[in-house]
Structure formats: C-alpha cells, structure tokens
Chain A
Amino acid sequence: MRKLCAAVFAISMAACLPAAAQADYPTKPIRLVLPYPAGGSTDGIARLVADGMSRRLGQQMVIDNRPGAAGNIASDLVAKAAPDGYTLLLGFNTALTVTPGLSPNLTFNVQKDFVPITELADGQYILVVNPELPVKNVAELVAYAKENPGKISFSSGGLGSSHHLSAELFMAMTGTKLTHLSYKGGGPAATAVLGNEAQMVFGSVATTVPHIQAGKMRAIATTGLQRFPALPDVPTLDESGLKGFDVGTWYGLLAPAGTPQPIIDRLQQAASAAVNEDSAKSGLALMGLRPIGGSGKDFNDLIVRETATWARIIKEAGIKLQ
C-alpha cells in the first residue's frame, strides 16, 4: 500500500512538474540519503559534501541516514523516490557494483533506476602485513604464501567487502591460498593485523597509514593504478607483477531515474565545486580520498565497468551469500 502511494505520488509529481519549477530549483531542502548510520568517516564525507552543496544551491541539504542491508535500504528508497531532485543518494562502490553480483533478488536495478550525477571522490586500499611476517614486497609475499599454503590469514570487514574481494582477486591472480578471517568492519580488521591475529589486510588509508608510519604495519603495495601520494615509495600491485590489478573505493551522487536533466546538471556543478574547494580537499585527503566531481557519463561508465569486473571475480572465486 505504501509503495503504491509512493508510486502514484511519484507519477503525479513527475507529470505536473512544470518547466518553471525546474528553473528555480531548488525551492525546498534536499534530502541526501546515506546508506550509513550517523557516525563513522563516511558520515563525515556526506556532511562535508552536503555543507558545500547547501551553500551553492541556497537550500539546506538534509542528511537522512538509512543504514541496513549492505546499503540496499538506502538504494531502494531513492530508486523509488519521486524524480524531482529533492531525494538523492550518496552511494559507494560495493553497494552499487558488488551487491548486484552477490544478491540476485534485489528490489531495484542500479543501472536502470538511477541517474548517476557525479563521482565525488575515490581512494585506494593498501596491502599491509604485520611486520613479523618475513616479506618486504609482493614477490616475497607470494613466494612465502606458496611455501606455506593456508598459513597466512587475511582479515576483512566481512564477506563481500572490498577488503575481502581484493584478497580474492589477489589469490586468483597469484595462485596463492590464504585463510580468510572476517571481522565486523574495516577497523577491527586492521586491528587484527596489528595484533598479528591476521597477517595481512587490504586496508583503507585511514586504518593503515598511521600504523605504517609508526612501524606497526608494513606496506607492501597499493591497489590503484597510480601510487598513493602519501606513500610514494610503495609500489602498486599493477607494477609489482599483478598486471591490471585496480581496486578502489569511491563515493558518488545519484538521483532517481527520470530526474530532469537541468536539475542533474545543477547538482553536478554544485557537487563538483563542493568537493574541490580547499577545505573539502584537505578533509578528504586525510581519509585517503581524492576529490573527483566529474561528469555523470564518466560516473555511469565506472559503475558499468566495475559491476562487470566484480561479477566476474565473485563468480570465479565462488563467493555466495547463502
């Protein structure tokens, strides 16, 4: 019943949306739906972006935290919202590109139900090991793992998380066998490496760089195609012999499909400017993120490309949600 109401409401809104309304958009606060609970660094990113965009659009951007179901609750809500530019999604890579490959019966279709507005920021992961593990680079790690099959454990923030899939991709490309220890989130996963419960992790910048600097973790490689500026001496996996290894994290802004193009353009400009202002840049840099703010088309291509990659890895590694 509620869904029906929403649908009727959506259609009537779309039908009677006059061009004039688009011209002075936005006339009321915009709801930015976030697939995370209040708290955590992602919430911080959202507030940073919302703050910058509010100032540019002249309307308050209100953050609506709708956590749950690996981001699917938030995605579903926005997918079914009125396409009037007043309900937007702050999406991130796994929820939009991994989940479709993992759970077959989603209530929405990422590529049909959304218009990508812009990719806000991206970042990469860092492959770190506990310093007690006698390896200094990728070649040594692979050799050690082959001599001691199953002896190295990697930690992850849960099944299907980027940490987990990166490790699966690593195993597939190197022919090694590592034991998977899964934790509730990236923070505990990184801590496990500090305590040597797990020997390696594909960790986020925020959870690894301080410990690398303190000598409590050893950086082996980064997961992007370019080296990470804060760690210029650490090679990428791509240049360490795993040709084409390119995994990262990103955040982007999406609207429900059917949102008028002028509104999308307006939002794209505001978002792009918001992430590229100095204060936002420095805030993002600390989380190891790089501001992007590119075109909607680039963002769409990224989603299509990564969805295909992850679907392939998930299939090859035989990962299933039971």
Chain B
Amino acid sequence: MELFSNLALGFSVALSFHGLLYCFVGVMLGTFIGVLPGVGPLVTISVLLPITYNLEPSSALIMLAGIYYGAQYGGSTTAILVNLPGESSSVVTCLDGHQMARRGRAGPALAIAAIGSFIAGTVSNVVVAAFAPALSAWALNFGSPEYFSIMVLGLVTAAVLSHGSMIKAISMIVLGLILGLSGTDVNSGTYRFTFGLPELTDGIDFVVVAMGMFGLAEIIANIQRPEAREIFSSKVSNLLPSRADMKASAWPIARGTALGSILGILPGTGTTISSFMSYALEKKFSRHPERFGHGAIEGVAGPESANNAAAQTAFIPTLTLGIPHNGTMALMLGALTMFGIAPGPQVMTSHPDLFWGLVASMWIGNLMLLVLNLPMLGLWVKMLAVPYRLLYPAIVILSCVGVYTLSNSSLSVVLLAVFGLVGLVFVKLDFAPAPLLLGFILGPMMEENLRRSMVMSRGDPSIFVTRPMSVAMLLIAAILLASMLIPMIRHKKEEAVASDA
C-alpha cells in the first residue's frame, strides 16, 4: 500500500526529535498568539520567517503550520471567553460559545472545541493523506459560476443562523455585502465607498469589523450592565463536558468534520462558509432550535470541528496547486520557495518527506493541542474571575494595538470605534451581527464571481443553472429558503385565523 508507506515516511519525519520539537514550538506559539485578540498568525509567521531559513525545510514548514492551526485554536478560546472573534471562522464560535461562558460553562465550551477540533483534525488528515491529488483536481472544476452559487448557499444559511426576524437577518446580510464592496473594484479599478481615504482603497479589514461589532460592543454592553459583569465567575460548574454534553455533540462533530473536510478544499472561501453552514445545519437538525444563541453546545461543537477540518484540508490547494488559501498560507508558500521548493503538483513526488511529514505533523500537532489545552482549561476559566474593571482595559488595549498592526494605520483604530458603535446600535435594535459578517466576507468574492461568470456567458444568466454543480447548490439554497419561509407564512395565517375567531 502506497498510502501506508507514505504515512510511515511522514511519521518518521514528524516523530523525529526535530519534527516533534518544532511542532511543539509552533503549536504553543500559535495558541499564545491566537489567544491574544487582534494578533494574528500572519504577523507571527512573518516575524519568524527569517529564523526558519536556518532550519530544515520540513522542520520549518511543520513549525509554521503549527503556528497556523494553533492560532486558529487559540482564536476560538478568545471567542468563547471574551466574545472576540479574531478570525472569520471564530465568528460562529462566539454565538453559542460565549453564551456558554456567560452561563458559567466556559470549561465545557472550551473542552468541546478542543475535542471537536481534534476529531475533525484526525479525520480530515486521513482525507488529505488519501485523496489529496484527486481532491485538488476536483477543486479545479469549481469555476466562477460554482463559486457564486456556493456563496449564495452560504448566505442563505446565514439567514438561518439568526434567531428572530428573517427580514432583519437578511437586511444584515445585505448591509454586510455592501460594506464588503468598499475598496478597489477588481474589474474596473474604481474606488468604491472609500470616502476619499487612501487607506480604504484596499477595503476594510475583516478583523476590524468583527472586533468592533462583537468585542468592543460587548465590552460597552457589559459595563452598562453591572449585574452581568461578574456572572462569569459566580457560577462556574464543572470544567469538562458532561456525558450529556458529549452525547449532544457527537453528531455535530461528525457532520461538521465532513462539511469542513469538503469545503476546505475550495481556496479562499472554505473555512468561513463551513463553520457558518455547520451551525445552520445543527440548528436545522436540532429538536430545540430555540436553544441556539443561548449556549447550545452543538453550536460550538459543529462549527469548531468544521473550521478545523477545513483548515487542514486547505493545505491541499496550497501545496498541490500553489494557491494560497489566505495570507498566512501565502507566507508559508513564500517560505517554501525560499527553501528551493516550488509549490505545485510535483511537491508530493519530488519532496515526499516534506509533504507527508507535514501531514503526519498536523495530526501530532492536533494531539498536542488537545493534551496541552485540556489542563489549561482551569487557567482560562480562572482568567474570567479577574474583576471586569481590570480585564476590559486589557482587552481594549490589545485590540487597538492589534488592529493598528494589521496595516500600520491609525484609521483601522478609528474604524474599530465606528464598528463598535454600529454593533451597539444594531444590538439595541435586535439585529444580530453574525449575518453581517458573513455578508461582509462573501460580498466582494460574490460580486467578482458573478461579474466574471457574466463575462464568460456573454451576459446570459442561465450559466448558473446549466452547470450541474452550480444548479445543485442553488437548488439546496432555494429549498432551505422555502423551508424557512413557509412555516413563517403558515404561522402568520394561523395567527390571522385565530384573531378572526
């Protein structure tokens, strides 16, 4: 079996002294960096890059990858504890994860995130190992019309996310789409919604919007409600998930893993859409969808598994096609080139030690994350016991400095305040911020793919329904939308009949 000999080679690299050491260093650093609000893996990796030149390529890549998924893991911790999503995929974790923390269940939330991530990481690793070449070929069939359709599907699932009014959820998505268009238009070079500010010509950074609308707005709301502040520490129950929690999470983890493993292969969109979709899926499958948004453990388990699975399979296009998934992956590709390894289809055959070493190390890294983090749960939960008056200035300063470092611009800090205010106003008016964030991420990509599809089809919109994968996704979106709207209309009718009688 070729797969087994490949994996054996991979583990021999990953389990070597250097492999283990750099995996450990990367994972620890990544977790630490990820926990700090506003400091992303991108900055860390770019600082460490010169150091890695002196390492073996496989050690360097193992360490960089460790920082990447370690940071993703650490980001979930911050999302759960203080409602600060540092990455697009942890937005969804905030929804129920932070609610769990507020109810004294930070421990189980963090633990289930770790367990779900580990299981998802293990499974998606097998996917990478067994199907990488086939999957990267499949991803190439995904053209602009397919990307457009999957984003439509993603947006429809975001409408499912919110509890409460559908109109409000859709409004937030549309507002997010508009905000996302800010910056330079790819097709024409036009500056849109930049208000004459050169700093805005590259658009608004996602982190600024997310940290403003979630983090800063949350801090202000907490200070406004003195009774809510100390809630965290007052009734901490057990640290580990109960048997019932584990049972409730089993299927969400399985579904999230499957969803994430598949979607992660699509460059650029995978991780975010997969966590949103997993959340929507769990809410649909749940017998008590009303618990979502109020600390449902399924709402943490599913999306966390999905985004971790996607983060791993995202390495497939990065390594085999040379397409970076995001800035962090681009940096890793840059590092590879520095070592004399051109990313591309031949990486697996020309540098099997590197490719399989990375695959094996990702699994070991995930195990390390689990082993390291479970004992740290208590520590994290204790952090919440720090009086809020001391905790919040720390969050504010870290967020502000972190946001500034995104592009070394004070305007980002100003925008952080602006989105903090926007978040406050919308929460007061009962609008949920999460759909806005998904719209914000998908807006520019959706427009780009729509316009390109129309150029390709010479202005014929039927291109979206004549390509099988595209039409399939649009159909699912339509069914999902109908399944939400029909009960709503029926409910209204019943209400009308009742009031007539």
Contacts and interface: CB of A to CB of B under 8 A. Distances in A.
B494 interface: no
Nearest to B194: A69
A38 B335 contact: no
A57 B337 CA distance: 26
A213 B344 CA distance: 9
A40 B49 contact: no
B241 interface: no
Contacts of B448: 183-184
A158 B330 contact: no
User: How many interface residues does chain A have, given as a range?
Assistant: 35 or more
B342 A286 contact: yes
25 contacts: A38-B42, A38-B45, A38-B327, A38-B331, A40-B324, A40-B331, A41-B337, A43-B331, A44-B335, A44-B338, A66-B409, A68-B202, A68-B407, A72-B198, A73-B199, A153-B456, A159-B186, A160-B189, A187-B323, A188-B323, A195-B143, A210-B322, A213-B346, A283-B338, A321-B190
Given A47-B50, A286-B340, 9 more contacts: A43-B334, A65-B408, A73-B201, A181-B452, A187-B330, A195-B141, A197-B452, A210-B345, A286-B337
A207 B324 CA distance: 11
B321 interface: yes
A95 B50 CA distance: 26
A206 B337 contact: yes
A191 B144 CA distance: 11
Contacts of B407: 37, 65-68
B343 interface: yes
Interface of A: 37-41, 43-44, 47-48, 51, 64-70, 72-73, 76, 102, 107, 153, 158-160, 179-184, 187-188, 190-191, 194-195, 197, 206-207, 209-211, 213-214, 216, 282-283, 286-287, 321-322
B338 A195 contact: no
Contact of A197 (B143, B201, B337, B345): B143
B331 A39 contact: yes
Given A38-B42, A211-B344, A214-B346, A69 B140 contact: no
B390 interface: no
Interface residues of B, number: 49
B340 A41 contact: no
A216 B346 CA distance: 11
Contacts of A37: 42, 327, 407
Nearest to A194: B140
A322 B190 CA distance: 5
B455 interface: yes
B49 A47 contact: yes
A242 to B, nearest CB: 26
A102 B189 contact: yes
Contact of B328 (A39, A48, A107): A39
A137 B439 CA distance: 44
Interface of B: 42-43, 45-46, 49-50, 140-144, 184, 186-190, 198-199, 201-202, 267-268, 321-324, 327-328, 330-331, 333-335, 337-338, 340, 342-346, 407-409, 448, 452, 455-456
B327 A159 contact: no
Contact of B43 (A38, A41, A102, A188): A38
A207 B46 contact: no
Contacts of A283: 337-338
Nearest to A212: B344
Contacts of B184: 69-70
B455 A179 contact: yes
Contact of B334 (A44, A67, A184, A210): A44
A37 B184 CA distance: 16
Contacts of B202: 67-69
A68 B199 contact: yes
- Select the residue from B45, B141, B340, B344 with max chain A CB neighbours within 10 A: B344
Contact of B198 (A69, A213, A282): A69
Contacts of B50: 47, 51
B199 to A, nearest CB: 6
A181 B448 CA distance: 10
A235 B338 CA distance: 27
A7 B333 CA distance: 40
Nearest to B335: A44
A276 to B, nearest CB: 17
Given A65-B408, A159-B188, A286 B338 contact: yes
Nearest to B334: A44
Given A38-B46, A44-B337, A69-B201, A207 B322 contact: yes
A107 B199 CA distance: 13
* A39, A73, A188, A194 — most chain B CB neighbours (10 Å): A39
A130 to B, nearest CB: 11
Contacts of B333: 41
Given A38-B43, A65-B407, A67-B407, A206 B322 contact: yes
A211 B346 CA distance: 9
Nearest to A216: B345
A312 B369 CA distance: 57
Contact of B346 (A65, A66, A206, A210): A210
A181 B334 CA distance: 26
